[in-house]
Structure 1
Amino acid sequence: MGTTQLETVPEPKYLHLKTVLSEALDSEFSVGEILPNERDLAARFGVARATLRQALEQLELEGRLQRRRGVGTTVAPPRVGVALGTGRQTWPGTGDDAWQPMDCERAVPPAPVAAALDTGTDEVHLVRRFRMSQGRRVATELLYIPAASVPDLSAIDAPSGPARARAVLRELQRLELDRQDRAVELGSAGAEDAKELDRLPGSPVLVVTTRFTVRGRTAALGVATYRADTCRLTFGDTPDVEIHHDPERRAS
């Protein structure tokens, strides 16, 4: 790596440095590669370490970098595409579903979920799943499934765990799905989600709520929490469209 000095620019120095660093990531580093330490980077670009940290923090928020305990700052893999509005109607756990079941238990859902499912204070099946990408957990999901949607579970022996979760999803797939509707909002990670996703509490997340409808009633409700720094939303039937960080490049 050569030496590059920043010229005087009208924008804040850390924002200009972020642009310069982003170009260096595209041209000089590969996914998973560890960046030089802060002292060396600050010397290369002729900035104070405080300015460098601001730029690195911005790149981390944008998902270009990730900081790993005991490893350092590495180049992050591409973001995971979260497909929305494609018209594809499928039950969770069907086909090439990227989610992995973690657990299943009976629980009374939060009041807003109970109202959406029209279950009152009755317990529902709560399926917990997670999604991995490039060896890291990028999302967790809670699936709330009323007992009425999976009435034949009494013959299944597994009381909890991944086996129970898979059994619940198999029974759910016996129903004829009318439609699924999704809503997305930006949120902040609570203590439990932060622990599951290896983020600090309050870190930005994308919350995707999916309602599965059968014969005009809500048969299941899913609440998925994605790390905002590792995921991107996709619409339509072309999820592989990617915009390069260099604005002069074309989308591929």
Structure 2
Amino acid sequence: MGTTQLETVPEPKYWHLKTVLSEALDSEFAVGEILPNERELAARFGVARATLRQALEQLELEGRLQRRRGVGTTVAPPRVGVDVGSESGPHTWPGAPGDAWHTEDHACVAAPSTVAQLLDVDTEAPVHAVRRSRMTGGQQVASETLYVPAATVPAVPTDEQGTEGAGGTLHPTARARTVLRALHQCELGGQDRTVELGSARADDARRLDRLPGAPVLLVTTRYLVDGRTAAVSLATYRADTCRLSFSDGDAMSLMAS
């Protein structure tokens, strides 16, 4: 099998254009300024629009640009550091003191197939889904769904009825907090995380004010009790604004998307 001499491989046109655009961003545009439309940019740099889009997507991935609904492509501010680990330490449940997340609502759903495998539950079995969001500098930078099977919190019925008695129901936010409080009664044995690059799904894109398909960082956290997975968190972070860090002692691995 022959070998490829990397120094002889020409630089892709979009990659060279990315460098040129990056220099233009530094010298001609301010943070928050809207870039000209694709047609104007393609004409200015003498490239096809497909090549321009590749360069813009790369700059967005690197956090230099942001695409916003109804606004266009703007120059992004510097990425903010976001600590993925809990301020209370690596052996705490979601919702513990120091948790930076805001609890939004609750639903009983069938877990996605990948989550069902991690939880070792049937794909049709209802699980608690607690949705939370995270703000930094007044901007939502992440959304999360925490999946908790009924076996982990047996005191919280998956049926919406009966939680207040006499047929009453709890508000979704209150019910979400009930699930979190029940989790805190379990002895957490540890947690592990994986991080991968992905694309924003429609629901997450709407919550994060992104366009569907925009680059995001996907953090999957398994919470362990007695060696089994007791809950799974799927968190989506904005790749254009976030620089993730991990508290000391947090277990973490990186996965290629």
Looking at structure 1, the residues matched to 112 and 35 of structure 2 have their Cα atoms a distance apart, in angstroms, of 46
Query: Are the equivalent residues in 1 in contact too, given 2:67–2:211 (CA < 8 A)?
Result: no
CA RMSD of aligned residues (A): 3.6
Are positions 1:193 and 2:204 aligned together?
yes
Determine the structure 2 residue equivalent to 1:169. 180
Deviations 1:49-104 (A, max 9, x none): 75766544432232211133343433323335454689722211222322222210
- Give yes or no for contact 1:81–1:232 (8 Å, CA) kept in 2: yes
TM-score by length of 1: 0.70
Displacement of 1:222 in angstroms is 0.9
- Tell me if the contact between 2:68 and 2:211 (Cα under 8 Å) persists in the aligned partners: no
Structure 1 pair 236–131 and aligned structure 2 pair: CA distance change class (3 A): closer
1:125 aligns with 2:123: no
> In structure 2, do the counterparts of structure 1 residues 134 and 65 end up closer, same or farther at CA, with 3 Å as the change threshold?
farther
| Residue 105 (structure 2) pairs with residue 103 (structure 1) | yes
Which of 222, 228, 240 is equivalent to 1:211?
A: 222
State percent identity of aligned pairs: 62
User: Which range moved further: 132-141 or 10-19?
Assistant: 10-19
Aligned to 1:114: 116
How far residue 212 of structure 1 moved from its aligned partner, in angstroms, is 0.6
Counterpart of 1:76 in structure 2 is 76
Provide the residue aligned with 1:19 in structure 2. Answer: 19
Counterpart of 2:176, as a letter, is: A
Which residue identity lines up with residue 117 of structure 1 in the other structure? L
How many angstroms does 1:37 deviate by?
Answer: 3.3
* Gap change, CA 1:35 and 1:105, over 3 Å in 2: closer
Contact 1:101 1:166 in 2 (8 A): yes
Which range moved further: 192-201 or 11-20? 11-20
How many residue pairs are counted as aligned between the two chains? 226
CA distance in 2, matches of 1:219, 1:141: 17
Q: Distance in 2 between matches of 1:233 and 1:13?
A: 30
Q: Which amino acid aligns with 1:201?
A: P
Task: For residue 172 of structure 1, report the CA deviation from its aligned partner.
Answer: 1.2
- How far 1:181 moved relative to its partner? 0.8
Q: Deviation of residue 163 (structure 1)?
A: 2.1
Correspondence 1:59 to 2:59: yes
- For the residue of structure 1 that corresponds to 2:45, the secondary structure is coil
Gap runs ≥5 in structure 2: 1-9, 249-257
Q: Is residue 147 from structure 1 mapped to residue 150 from structure 2 by the alignment? A: yes
> What TM-score comes out, normalization by structure 2 length?
0.68
Which secondary structure does the structure 1 equivalent of 2:148 belong to?
strand
Q: Which amino acid aligns with 1:188?
A: S
